[in-house]
Amino acid sequence: MSALSRIKVKGVRPAIAANGGIDGAAATLDKGRSWVGDWHNRNHAGMPTLPDAFALDEVALAETGRAPILQALAAELGHVAIRLPECDGCGDALVLAVVKAAGEFGDVANAITDALRDGVRTAAENAHIVEEIDQAQAQLARLRLMVTGVPVPVSGRSGEEDAA
């Protein structure tokens, strides 16, 4: 599957769905139904413009808590897009963030255990494991931001690993 198809399947189509389907997304953007339908078709080369993608993700964020187009674009570059915390790193919030990170690691372990149960890992199981890993990484990045006040660098690494 091409990068364009992956972005459409993992980002554009879920954003359109969160906007109420093709008709809802067309209404959100004041575009024609066929225009948005082309974006929904993974075999068509048409993609939303940046302002249209932003508008679709804005509604999707309100409806689902996710920005699927932004997340799909980040994933194609080997990164994750996470929502910044709305806390100043106070003690209770820091403890809660650690608990959430630990919970995400448990989700990774559960996904791997479920996938290995029958001795055969499917593509869907692998995708689920990767999704759980991405969620764990995102939670750790939130925790790091709360502690340091500095977002994770674009490379996803702080540079300390290179010095070792």
- pLDDT tens-digit map of 124-150: 999 999 999 999 998 888 888 888 877
Q: Name all contacts of 105-111 with Cβ < 8 Å and 24+ positions apart.
A: 105/136, 107/132, 107/135, 107/136, 108/132, 108/133, 108/136
Q: Taking the model in full, what pTM does it have?
A: 0.57
Q: Give residue for tokens 């995102």.
A: 138
- Among residues 107, 78, 100, the alpha carbon closest in space to that of 144 is found at 100
| pLDDT digits 0-9 by tens, 35-93 | 999 999 988 889 999 999 999 999 999 999 899 999 999 989 888 887 765 655 566 77
User: How far apart are alpha carbons 87 and 151 in whole angstroms?
Assistant: 14
Q: What is the C-alpha separation between 83 and 71, in angstroms, rounded?
A: 11
- The ranges assigned to domains in the chain are 3-76, 91-153
Angle at 145 between CA 140 and CA 153, to 5 degrees: 85
